[in-house]
Amino acid sequence: MAQDVLINVSVGEVRVAAVENGRLQALSCTRLLGAEEPGSGGLIGDIVLGQVARVVPAVQAAFVEIGHERAGFLGARELRCLSGDPSVDPLISSVMHEGDKVLVQIVKEPIGDKGARLTANVTIPGRLSVFTPLQPGVGISRRIEDESERARLAAIGEKLFASGELKGGCILRTAAVGADEEELREDLIRLEEEWGEISAARKNAKVPSTLRRDLGPIERALRDTVHDGTLSILIDDANAVTRARAYCHEAMPDMEDRVALFEGPGALFADLEADIDGLVHLRVPLPCGGWITVEGTEALTAVDVNSGSFTHAAAVEDTGLIVNVEAAREIGRQIRLRGIGGLIVIDFIHMKEMGNVEQVLAELSGSLARDGVPVSVGPVTAFGLVEVTRKRVRGPLVSQWSEDCSTCHGLGRVRRPDVVAMDVLRRIEETVKAAPGLAIVVRAAPEVVRWMEGQGAIEALASKGIARVTFQLEEGFSRERIEVGTRAKAD
């Protein structure tokens, strides 16, 4: 489907949005300040030489020191590549011992008080393929639905590995659709060379050591978000545009001329900010006048569908169908954008006709399948509920961007200081563009200012030529209150 990719580069973070017909469909954020905090987006994909700190046979897992505040979690399932039979989970005590060095990859960021999730089945992603050095065989992305194309790609992949030129295996990505044998070969050879460099570095590395970091946020956005249907790639930072064009020139030359510098008017994400801010709200309005409510608990996420002010003149069944179809489309979008995983229970408006029920379930399945994350949609239960399971690929945004409100005893949430700080930094940069030459005065809550000072925000601003910034700690300000103004430059 046709899309535009918008990349907002600020001092504090890089935000990437995929927009279809002016509507936000995908969002990722990578922190530049506080890059190792939960939700930063800066750890996934890193390959680390770690050391086993503890083996716990009762849960068939090991805890591995990887150089972060908390040890990472390595389950027995993620060790199949090190056992004799890759189809069976090994006994953790047979392959892991306290003090062992182990090469692992971070697959999930720390969430709450849990450390990063790890795997020993290291993979190296490229533009067209994902190289799996420890797992033989050729896999095809489930998002490639054309059976003839799947067969063609599988035949090419198997030929490349059967020749002996490449060792290991691969997964061919959706970007590989239409690629010829030479393109796939070049992509895989480049990835195998990276694996060789990692293997060489491992021999002399101390533990814990990060041996490979994933691509930077700009390059990663191009690799993972851009596809043949991408019409434009707009970036609001000149240096980032240069990096993006260099990556495209090497890895995806057909996209190089679609990269452009956004120079205004206004901010690149101006039309998206309200939608982004709404991703931590419980209620989401529907075009018809109804709404859905999305609320997470420890065990599951509950989604309720409400018709609100909408009624259809023909019949109650028609009202339910129209609202439910809109809700099904929006639920899939909200689950993607909010990063919701695990068990999801949806309470649609009751409908009697089975054809209508099947139509709603089809809309829901199609909406959920758009990002390729494994998902399963169950039938309507006896109590009229639809159960969905979706693989967790990151922590939910509500926990990354907000925390329990200290003044309402856990009944509500408030944005975290670091998230508010990102808004402050963006506001500073926008003010400098609008009023060059003037000094900036920022008034904000003490905890927000202290977070920025502790993370080197002043130095980061200065590195971009923004040096005349004064922060005022306002004890009476709520955490969310921000005031960014200017004053005449002193002679």
Q: Which two tokens stand for residue 121?
A: 């089945």
In a domain, 109, yes or no: yes
Is the distance from CB of 119 to CB of 107 less than 8 angstroms?
Answer: yes
d(CA 336, CA 47): 26
234, 239, 245, 249: CA torsion to nearest 10? -160
Of 81, 96, 122, the domain-final residue? 122
Gyration radius (Cα) of the chain, Å: 24
370 and 315 together in one domain: yes
386 and 323 together in one domain: yes
In a domain, 192, yes or no: yes
Is the distance from CB of 300 to CB of 345 less than 8 angstroms?
Answer: yes
Whether pLDDT at 409 is above 70: no
d(CA 433, CA 427): 10
Amino acid (one-letter) located at 11: V
164 and 235 together in one domain: no
Residue 294 backbone phi and psi in degrees, to 5: -115, 115
Is the distance from CB of 452 to CB of 471 less than 8 angstroms?
Answer: yes
Structure confidence by residue, pLDDT tens digits, 279-316 = 988 999 999 999 999 998 888 999 999 998 887 656 78
d(CA 248, CA 253): 5
Q: What integer is the mean pLDDT of 441-455?
A: 94
In a domain, 266, yes or no: no
Whether pLDDT at 490 is above 60: no
d(CA 491, CA 475): 31
| pLDDT for 36 | 55
Confidence of residue 410 (pLDDT cuts 50, 70, 90): low
DSSP-derived secondary structure letter, 464: T
In a domain, 41, yes or no: no
Structure confidence by residue, pLDDT tens digits, 257-289 = 999 999 988 999 999 999 999 998 899 999 999
Task: Report the CATH number that the domain containing residue 255 is assigned in CATH.
Answer: 3.30.420.40
Question: How many domains does the chain fold into?
Answer: 5
Residue 241 backbone phi and psi in degrees, to 5: -60, -40
d(CA 64, CA 157): 34
Q: Which two tokens stand for residue 72?
A: 């990472």
Alpha-carbon distance values, 354 to 104, 322, 347 (Å)? 48, 15, 16
Is the distance from CB of 92 to CB of 74 less than 8 angstroms?
Answer: no
Give the 3-state DSSP-derived string for 381-431, with helices as H, strands as E and coil as C. CCCCCEEEEECCCCCCHHHHHEEECCCCCCCCEEECHHHHHHHHHHHHHHH
Confidence of residue 39 (pLDDT cuts 50, 70, 90): very low
283 and 392 together in one domain: yes
d(CA 196, CA 200): 6
Instruction: Give the dihedral sign, CA 221/219/33/11.
Output: negative
Q: What angle do CA 101, 79, 122 make, to 5 degrees?
A: 75
Q: What integer is the mean pLDDT of 40-66?
A: 87
d(CA 187, CA 180): 11
385 and 440 together in one domain: no
Whether pLDDT at 30 is above 90: no
114 and 129 together in one domain: no
Q: Which two tokens stand for residue 251?
A: 């890895």
Q: What integer is the mean pLDDT of 187-207?
A: 93
Percentage with pLDDT > 70 across the chain: 95
94 and 55 together in one domain: yes
Helix/strand/coil percentages in the chain, nearest 5: 35, 30, 35
Is the distance from CB of 391 to CB of 373 less than 8 angstroms?
Answer: yes
Structural domain range at position 253:
3-35+214-261
d(CA 403, CA 422): 16
Q: What integer is the mean pLDDT of 427-433?
A: 93
Structure confidence by residue, pLDDT tens digits, 85-144 = 777 788 888 888 999 999 999 988 777 677 889 999 999 998 899 999 998 999 998 878
Confidence of residue 491 (pLDDT cuts 50, 70, 90): very low
Of 205, 222, 240, the domain-final residue? 205
380 and 467 together in one domain: no
Total count of residues recorded for the chain:
491
Structure confidence by residue, pLDDT tens digits, 326-351 = 999 999 999 999 989 999 999 999 99
Question: Could you tell me the pTM of the whole model?
Answer: 0.78
Whether pLDDT at 213 is above 60: yes
Confidence of residue 41 (pLDDT cuts 50, 70, 90): low
Of 97, 122, 147, the domain-final residue? 122
Helix (H) or strand (E) holding 451: helix 446-454
Whether omega before 265 lies within 30 degrees of 0, making that bond cis, reads yes
Whether pLDDT at 488 is above 80: no
Q: Are strands 72-75 and 61-65 parallel, antiparallel or unpaired?
A: antiparallel
In a domain, 331, yes or no: yes
Percentage with pLDDT > 90 across the chain: 61
281 and 171 together in one domain: no
List the end-to-end C-alpha distance of the chain, in Å, as a whole number.
55
- Could you tell me which of 104, 132, 100, 98 has the C-alpha nearest to residue 43? 104
303 and 389 together in one domain: yes
179 and 288 together in one domain: no
354 and 420 together in one domain: no
In a domain, 408, yes or no: no
Task: Report the CATH number that the domain containing residue 101 is assigned in CATH.
Answer: 2.40.50.140
Is the distance from CB of 49 to CB of 65 less than 8 angstroms?
Answer: no
> 370 or 201: which carries more pLDDT confidence?
201
In a domain, 20, yes or no: yes
In a domain, 411, yes or no: no
Confidence of residue 233 (pLDDT cuts 50, 70, 90): very high
